[in-house]
């Protein structure tokens, strides 16, 4: 039982490049989330999904896109990387809206 798995662990992008951050969970959770964490700040919600085929914007969605074609996978897409997207990205899942989140180990992204 791997929980929530994120790849890659680290990535350096040039401005304007695109990439997809992968997230998969094996707990059969319907709820999945993408957060970013900037230094000295709490985690900010980017996008979330309440089930396969359903996604919605969180607090800071600009510059990102998501899809949820299966229960297990919730990839996050950056189309035109900008320095402001330098951050640590965490994917999480939960059984319900009021149960604890299970987090992956994060992807550290640097855009230069």
Rounded CA separation 20/54 (Å): 19
**Does 100 help bind other proteins (rule: CB under 8 A)?**
yes
| One character per residue 31-70, x = contact with other proteins (rule: CB under 8 A) | x-x-x----xxxxxx--x-x-----x-xx-----------
Q: For residue 46, which of 55, 38, 37, 34 has the smallest C-alpha distance?
A: 34
Rounded CA separation 80/45 (Å): 19
Using an 8 Å Cβ cutoff, are 97 and 83 in contact? no
**Does 112 help bind other proteins (rule: CB under 8 A)?**
no
Neighbours of 85 (CB within 10 A): 19
C-beta closer to other proteins: residue 15 or 108: 108
C-beta closer to other proteins: residue 10 or 18: 10
Binding site for other proteins (CB under 8 A): 4, 6, 31, 33, 35, 40-45, 48, 50, 56, 58-59, 90, 92, 97-98, 100-106
């Amino acid at each position: 039982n791997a929980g929530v798995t994120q790849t890659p662990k680290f990535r350096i992008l040039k401005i304007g490049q695109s990439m997809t951050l992968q997230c998969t969970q094996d707990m059969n959770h319907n709820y999945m989330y993408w957060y970013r964490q900037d230094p000295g700040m709490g985690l900010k919600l980017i996008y979330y999904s309440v089930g396969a085929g359903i996604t919605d914007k969180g607090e800071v969605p600009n510059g990102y896109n998501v899809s949820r074609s299966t229960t297990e996978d919730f990839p996050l897409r950056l189309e035109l990387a900008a320095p402001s997207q330098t951050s640590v990205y965490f994917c999480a899942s939960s059984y319900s809206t009021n149960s604890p989140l299970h987090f992956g180990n994060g992807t550290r992204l640097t855009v230069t």
